Structure 1
Amino acid sequence: MNAIHLLFGPVGPALKFIFSIGYIPNENDFLELTDEQYAAYLKQYGEVTSKMYMFAPNDLHHALNEDYNEISCIDEYELQGFKEAAALIQKYCDKSGRIFQNTKEILQYMTSALPDVFSKGTPYEKYHHLSISITNSKN
């Protein structure tokens, strides 16, 4: 995967989403819209050119805000981005030779392997827990 594809293809937004929710979705976490949902989508957004999916993880702990009354939809291209993002994470973890206990450890490691743009503004943002301290070096 080249840098252009990573930054400007479907993988970048998928990585940003993964860092923001702290969970690496798998293909089973995305459900194709029902006929009624397709009809509502078509009415609101117009033409549907590919299959559409919603994020619906089996473990509701990873679901989006419960008060949110809309479904976020992705198309097949964006779903491919999530598959590639998961494969990229797996590849980096395998190459590291480390054993990770949980997803949190994986994502903390990935912040060191990927550009900051993917974790910026998420709980995994590099150095988000550090404060700036100025010391007087003139002694």
Structure 2
Amino acid sequence: MAAPGSRNLWLIPAALLGAAILLLVLLQHLVGGPDLPDPEGPEPEEAALEAVRSAPADPFRYGGRTVAEVLRQVEPRTGWTDSGWSVRPLTEGRYRVERTYSRAEGGKRVYAFTVAADLDYVWPANGHARALMHRGPRSGS
């Protein structure tokens, strides 16, 4: 037969463990937890925009600079205003990223890019963007 009171011996370690957990939770609430980065990363639209900004421009014309660096140097032209970047989702997880410049007289110039779903490839989606990202030497010049 068990000694008197031995049945309740497990209550002491359980109570100590419960008190320790409660104390840790209270301390974390008071002090605050570590500031961890967002586990999902940046928003997909922001990541697509960054993919375009860091994409290489035509190396023969712009010497290895990125699309963002080249646009900062060549735009906006005199009389034009920068309307900024816009990002919209396309089918199959891809994105369309556009940089628009407009003129008071009604003109509009858009550099449009398509970004792959996994954000590892950017290709031009209109003539202005193609001229900016052209690969290889230009013929006839």
Q: What TM-score does the superposition give when structure 1 sets the normalisation length?
A: 0.23
Structure having the higher Rg? 2
Work out which structure has the larger RCO, using CA pairs closer than 8 Å and 6 or more positions apart in sequence: 1
More helix by share: 1
Q: What TM-score does the superposition give when structure 2 sets the normalisation length?
A: 0.23
More strand by share: 2
